[in-house]
């Protein structure tokens, strides 16, 4: 179906981690998805280095915006709004995106929408499978997060049912890959090795699946340790480590727990469909097992294509467009970059002031994150890779 021209045309900027993403959408239609990644610059450190990421965002920002506008074949003056990831993520990295979004929005006289990275990972599926059902059950699995979320309205009401109590799912992939000397990021390479391996070869532990454990929470730290010990024992005995079997068995343990708990959440809440988002949703075994278990349970599965699962600007634009479509308040010019923005805040509204010649407030950057009621330290970030 051709896009309706009265649907909101929104540009979205994503800089929460190592991808500088700029996407442009019209309603539910993807027009451009430009991504510049600094992942190669981090590979030798085995994890994302925040300062390196911030600098890379700064260098990539303007060219990536120009590339997206060209790809979409639209002019910046035709935009109905500019959306940006306000958090959660790396503080310095977020700040580059938020500052750029403010500058463009102010200069162009467009409303600014500071949105939540996690809600964006869910909303992106509208670009692939159309309007999200309400409520939506979402399993969000990335390098920084693993959560089960119930979203009656993705623009205003997102409820966490459970989350990881230690490592995120993607973080576990990255750490196990490091123990196996497979490089960074670990997810895609473990996914590839696992295809050649036997998922039943080694029975690794399934975290938090005992009868007294929290039903919707996850834990992957014990699994990571179990895999590392198993590998150490092999090496100590001078035996070769069967990399493909370890990869497949580890992946099976992660995917088994994720899908089991997600299906359980759908059943318990009477939701007949499941959305899976975030970088780990690109995993082929996760997609296959979720497909089978959802089918058995009569649940419709929605997973965006892999490129829309990993961080990108289109997901931010998708949520921004939904904000415009639903008449949500735009953000104020003092929108902060909030590294620990809670998932319960899909967007960061405020009274939008019209940019005018006498209003210089937009020139000031108030993005220092003070005065938040939720100004706590974010424990689950890719930064944790350093002290692993
Ligand atoms: O959503 P994302 O791009 O960035 C964050 O917000 O964290 O997710 C990145 C994470 C990394 O940990 C990466 O190893 C993992 O997603 N990942 C995968 C796969 N592709 C990316 N994990 C498992 N299998 C994959 N195919
Ligand atoms: Zn992400």
Which is nearest to 324 in space by CA: 11, 107, 67?
Answer: 11
| Mean per-residue pLDDT over the chain, rounded | 90
Q: What's the pLDDT tens digit per position in 187-212?
A: 999 999 999 999 999 999 999 999 99
**Neighbouring C-alpha atoms within 13 Å toward the C-beta of 383:** 17
Interval between CA 310 and ligand 1 midpoint (Å): 6
- Check residue 356 and give its pLDDT: 46
- 2 domain-assigned: no
Q: How many domains does the chain have?
A: 2
- 23 domain-assigned: yes
Interval between CA 352 and ligand 1 midpoint (Å): 35
- The reply to whether 163 and 263 lie within a common domain is yes
Give exposure, 270-284, as e/b (b: 16+ Cβ within 10 Å): ebebbbbbbbbbbbe
Report in angstroms the alpha-carbon separations of 346 from 24, 99, 204, 263, 319: 19, 19, 36, 24, 9
Q: What's the pLDDT tens digit per position in 230-277?
A: 999 999 999 999 999 999 999 999 999 999 999 999 999 999 999 999
Domain that holds residue 251: 133-304
- 35 domain-assigned: yes
Q: What's the pLDDT tens digit per position in 318-350?
A: 999 999 999 999 999 999 999 999 999 999 987
C-alpha 266/C-alpha 182 separation (Å) is 35
- The reply to whether 280 and 162 lie within a common domain is yes
Interval between CA 367 and ligand 2 midpoint (Å): 21
- Check residue 44 and give its pLDDT: 78
pLDDT exceeding 90 applies to what percent of the chain?
A: 81
Find the ligand nearest to 119 CA.
2
pLDDT-based confidence at residue 359 (cuts at 50, 70, 90)? very low
- The reply to whether 195 and 224 lie within a common domain is yes
- The reply to whether 109 and 137 lie within a common domain is no
CB 218 within 8 A of CB 257: yes
Which is nearest to 116 in space by CA: 57, 152, 156?
Answer: 156
Interval between CA 122 and ligand 1 midpoint (Å): 15
- The reply to whether 56 and 81 lie within a common domain is yes
Rounded mean pLDDT, 139-156: 95
Alpha helices in the chain (DSSP H): 39-43, 50-72, 91-108, 117-123, 125-129, 169-179, 186-194, 221-236, 243-269, 284-297, 306-309, 313-325
What is the CB < 6 Å shell around ligand 1?
A: 17, 142-144, 170-171, 173-174, 185-188, 191, 278-280, 282-283, 310-311
- Check residue 46 and give its pLDDT: 77
- Check residue 367 and give its pLDDT: 39
C-alpha 271/C-alpha 263 separation (Å) is 9
- The reply to whether 139 and 238 lie within a common domain is yes
- The reply to whether 178 and 270 lie within a common domain is yes
- The reply to whether 21 and 80 lie within a common domain is yes
- Check residue 10 and give its pLDDT: 98
- The reply to whether 143 and 268 lie within a common domain is yes
Phi-psi label, residue 142: left if phi above 0, alpha if psi -120 to 50, beta otherwise: beta
- The reply to whether 147 and 179 lie within a common domain is yes
DSSP string, 265-314: HHHHHT--EEEEESGGGG-HHHHHHHHHHHHHHT-EEE---HHHHSS-HH
pLDDT-based confidence at residue 376 (cuts at 50, 70, 90)? very low
Q: What's the pLDDT tens digit per position in 37-58?
A: 888 888 778 778 888 889 999 9
Q: What is the DSSP letter of 78?
A: G
Q: What is the CATH number of the domain that holds 321?
A: 3.30.420.40
- The reply to whether 179 and 214 lie within a common domain is yes
Give the closest residue (by CA) to ligand 1 atom 3.
Answer: 310
Q: What's the pLDDT tens digit per position in 165-192?
A: 999 999 999 999 999 999 988 999 999 9
Which is nearest to 113 in space by CA: 289, 284, 288, 328?
Answer: 328
- 171 domain-assigned: yes
């Amino acid at each position: 179906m051709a896009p309706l021209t009265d649907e909101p045309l929104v540009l979205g900027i994503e800089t929460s981690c190592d991808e500088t993403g700029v996407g442009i959408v019209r309603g539910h239609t993807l027009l451009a998805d430009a991504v510049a990644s600094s992942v190669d610059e981090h590979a030798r450190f085995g994890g994302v280095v925040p300062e390196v990421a911030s600098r890379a965002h700064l260098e990539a920002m303007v060219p990536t915006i120009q590339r997206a506008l060209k790809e979409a074949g639209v002019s910046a003056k035709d935009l109905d709004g500019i959306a940006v990831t306000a958090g959660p993520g790396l503080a310095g990295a977020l700040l580059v995106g938020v500052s750029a979004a403010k500058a463009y929005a102010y200069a162009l006289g467009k409303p600014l929408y500071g949105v939540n990275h996690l809600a964006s990972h869910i909303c992106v599926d509208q670009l692939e499978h159309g309007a999200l059902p309400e409520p939506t059950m979402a399993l969000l699995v990335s390098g920084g997060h693993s959560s089960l979320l119930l979203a009656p309205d993705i623009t205003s009401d997102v409820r966490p049912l459970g989350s990881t109590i230690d490592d995120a799912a993607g973080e576990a992939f990255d750490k196990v890959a490091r123990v196996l000397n497979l490089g960074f990021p670990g997810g895609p390479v473990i996914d590839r090795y696992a295809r050649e391996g036997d998922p039943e070869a080694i029975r690794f532990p399934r975290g938090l699946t005992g009868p007294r454990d929290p039903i919707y929470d996850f834990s992957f730290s014990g699994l990571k340790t179990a895999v590392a010990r198993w590998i150490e024992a092999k090496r100590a005995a001078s035996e070769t480590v069967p990399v493909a079997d370890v990869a497949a068995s580890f992946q099976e343990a992660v995917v088994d727990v994720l899908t089991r708990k997600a299906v359980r959440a759908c059943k318990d809440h009477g939701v007949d469909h499941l959305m899976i988002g975030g970088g780990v949703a690109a995993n082929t075994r996760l997609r296959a097992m979720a497909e089978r278990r959802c089918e058995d349970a009569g649940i419709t599965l929605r997973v965006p294509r892999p490129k829309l699962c990993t961080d990108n600007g289109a997901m931010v634009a998708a949520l921004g467009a939904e904000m415009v479509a639903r008449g949500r308040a735009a953000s104020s010019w003092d929108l902060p970059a909030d590294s620990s923005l809670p998932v319960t805040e899909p967007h960061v509204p405020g009274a939008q002031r019209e940019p005018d010649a006498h209003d210089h407030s937009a020139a000031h950057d108030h993005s220092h994150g003070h005065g938040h009621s939720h100004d706590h330290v974010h424990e689950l970030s890719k930064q944790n890779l350093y002290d692993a």
